[in-house]
Amino acid sequence: MLRMMSSKDMTMSNSAARWEIDILEAQQPDVWLPKGDFLANHEYIVRGLLKEAWNRWHSQAMTISSPLLHHHMQLLDAEGGLLIESAIGDDLPNTGTEAILAPLNSRRSTGCIARLKLASADKTESFLLPLLEAAALTMQEMYDHAYDLLIVRQMMNQQQIIDKEARGRDYLFQAAKRLHDQNDVYSVLHVLLDDVEVMYPGAKVNLYLSQDFVYSDSRVKPLLLRHTNDDLNANAFLTGKPVTADEDGGGIKLAIPLRGNQAVYGVLSLSLQQRWDEFEHRSMVMLVDTAGSAFENAKLYEQSNLLISELQLINELTKRLNQSLRLNEVFDFALTELMTIFKADYCHLLQISNDGSNFQIMASNVPMTDTESYSTSTGFGGIVIRTKEPLIISDYWSTRVVDSKLMDASGARSLIAAPVMAGSAVVGVIMVSHQSPNFFSYENYKLLQVLSTHIGLAVSNASLHAEVRRMVITDNLTGLHARHYLNEQIHLRQRKDRCGSLVLVDIDHFKRVNDTFGHLIGDQILVAVSDVIRNCIRDTDIAARWGGEELAVYLPQIRTGQAYRIAERIRSTVEGQTDPTVTVSCGISEWSFDEEKISVESLFYRADMALYEAKKNGRNRICVG
């Protein structure tokens, strides 16, 4: 009794064959586009197509109840190997059977690709051979049809891949163009992240940067190198190469370094739940490499602009600093500019005292600091003096390396400080602070170091100018002002004051002192009298050496009566405190706004006449002109 394949079995067989071919196509979607027959290494594809042709013929043969189905049939490959056979009853005798063969020839090849074999017990059934040959021809047509379909599918898959790569290359070109069109670091990162999300809408995208970078986008995060063995991002950053890992659930995670020609700046992390082919991998690596170059170019452009602006700033600051040769103006201008440049809350300019033990606050926007005393051995100023190097403090409240009166008084948390140098010596310290932590950058730190050098030069120039001017307007022996300075100051006072008095002081018989005790003692007497005058007048009064042993004191806003009392105090003090004892004669004159003609010459003339009168009347006395 014959056992036939059921329709359900045939359907399952067809599905299995189609599944096998589809699996093969999925494994190698673009392996070949054959010309002519299949090659030897494509035997598994030929076998699959032959089995598909057999199943299709077998299904049709069952619908017409072909006599061939009552016999044991086999489909053999070109070498005679069994591919598939029909199932019949077990009562077919094994002896006395005769095999009938019919070849299958594809139109694409000249040789036989397979054979149909039929085993029959009755040699007289001559009609079986034509039926077998017809079945072979039918299978051959079905084989060629399946072959053509496979070729078309392969060509369509190949064309889809080509189109996909073409679209990918075009998008990659446009993305690279957008990236290199940006001169701003923020824009480069924004374009990169947006393009990646457009390419993979369901992916999780993050960018980890190794540099301090303040960016509001939550996708940009700091790169922390803590667990380098297990951390995909750390491995990609350290090796400079893309790293891939499988995730739970069949997903994939990719870490691609954001690198330029000079360094690796970060890592792009991409997690997605889809198949990832080689072209997509190459495209993503190329996109991130392009973004790395664009990021580096934007950083260089930003740094060049920053450098240009800093050079312009330094040039402008230096020019304006050198416009003034007054120390107080230099310090005040430097204070204002430093606060503007660094957007600081507080600024202090400290100068070291002559003995080097304390700081003198030359300029500050914290009023209470003016009356404080600051030792050069403590605080941040002491550190700067000892190291002769600038320093930066990110958060004074959390680190508190030393106690700082200035930081505590202002409540500041961020600090940058730099020494003010005069040659190789530290003459002062600049301290710039802000109430927010981590406010100042490393660029601010370097810029202050440069600016402090130019401020130091301006301070040195102003100090030298002040010293030269002091030497010009000061008498070397007595330490009093020179006569021309006194004349200038009286002239200025006569233009804005309402009155003033002049006292001329002459040492009596000074030639006799020189002849008796020598010129050295005479100089000491002259210095002693100058000290008495300096101690008997106000800070606003001007004492000068008028010539020889004659000294002069100008008293602004003082009338004759008060000037007489001051002159008397000078006369009596000189007489009582000099050794050897000497006396002085004084002549007083005054001017007032009511006079018709006011001049320095007339004021001196009247005082000189009064002095002459005092000497004429016996010396050691005071006369008013």
pLDDT band at residue 530 using 50, 70 and 90 as cut-offs: very high
What are the beta bridge partners of residue 114? Answer: 77, 104
pLDDT at 149: 86
* % of residues, the chain, pLDDT over 90: 23
Task: Quote the tokens at residue 405.
Answer: 């009166």
Does residue 5 register a pLDDT over 50?
Answer: no
**Look-up of token digits 């304006």:** 320
Q: Is the peptide bond before 130 cis (omega within 30 degrees of 0)?
A: no
pLDDT at 96: 53
Does residue 93 register a pLDDT over 60?
Answer: no
Residue 477: partners with Cβ closer than 8 Å, 6 or more residues away: 523, 526, 527, 545
Write the pLDDT tens digit of every residue in 107-126: 766 778 889 888 875 655 67
Dihedral sign of CA atoms 162, 163, 169, 170 in order: positive
In whole angstroms, what is the distance from residue 439 CA to residue 436 CA?
A: 6
In whole angstroms, what is the distance from residue 475 CA to residue 427 CA?
A: 27
Q: Residue range 248-269: average pLDDT?
A: 86
pLDDT at 596: 77
Q: Residue range 39-65: average pLDDT?
A: 81
* % of residues, the chain, pLDDT over 70: 87
pLDDT at 228: 63
In whole angstroms, what is the distance from residue 625 CA to residue 612 CA?
A: 10
Q: How far apart are the first and last CA of the chain?
A: 164
CA distances for 265 relative to 256, 258, 299, 478, angstroms: 11, 6, 11, 69
What are the beta bridge partners of residue 348? Answer: 364, 431
In whole angstroms, what is the distance from residue 232 CA to residue 238 CA?
A: 10
Vertex 14, ends 10 and 15: CA angle to 5°? 115
In whole angstroms, what is the distance from residue 508 CA to residue 551 CA?
A: 12
Q: Residue range 594-612: average pLDDT?
A: 89
Does residue 621 register a pLDDT over 90?
Answer: yes
Q: Strand 264-272 vs strand 204-209: parallel, antiparallel, or unpaired?
A: antiparallel
pLDDT band at residue 557 using 50, 70 and 90 as cut-offs: very high
CA distances for 291 relative to 188, 190, 281, angstroms: 7, 10, 15
Q: Residue range 30-58: average pLDDT?
A: 68
In whole angstroms, what is the distance from residue 326 CA to residue 10 CA?
A: 108
Domains of the chain, with CATH numbers?
A: 36-86+99-181 (no CATH), 183-302 (3.30.450.40), 324-467 (3.30.450.40), 474-624 (3.30.70.270)
Write the pLDDT tens digit of every residue in 451-464: 888 888 888 777 77
pLDDT at 122: 62
The closest alpha carbon to 284, from 168, 178, 453, belongs to 168
In whole angstroms, what is the distance from residue 78 CA to residue 274 CA?
A: 41
pLDDT at 213: 61
> Mapped to the 3 state alphabet, what secondary structure does 331-375 carry?
HHHHHHHHHHHHCCCEEEEEEECCCCCEEEEEEECCHHHHHCCEE
In whole angstroms, what is the distance from residue 437 CA to residue 434 CA?
A: 8
pLDDT at 574: 93
pLDDT at 179: 82
Average pLDDT of the residues of the chain: 82
> Mapped to the 3 state alphabet, what secondary structure does 467-521 carry?
HHHHHHHECCCCCCECHHHHHHHHHHHHHHCCEEEEEEEEECCHHHHHHHHCHHH
Vertex 350, ends 346 and 352: CA angle to 5°? 165
Write the pLDDT tens digit of every residue in 384-431: 988 989 999 989 988 888 888 888 888 899 999 999 888 888 888 999
User: Among 46-55, 92-101, 271-280, which is the least confidently predicted range?
Assistant: 92-101
Longest Cα–Cα distance of the chain, Å, equals 181
pLDDT at 500: 94
pLDDT band at residue 147 using 50, 70 and 90 as cut-offs: confident
pLDDT at 214: 61
CA distances for 203 relative to 188, 285, 289, angstroms: 20, 16, 19
pLDDT band at residue 16 using 50, 70 and 90 as cut-offs: very low
Residue 47 has what DSSP assignment? H
In whole angstroms, what is the distance from residue 483 CA to residue 501 CA?
A: 16
φ, ψ dihedrals at 175, nearest 5°: -65, -40
pLDDT at 368: 62
pLDDT at 165: 74
Q: Is the pLDDT higher at 226 or at 245?
A: 245
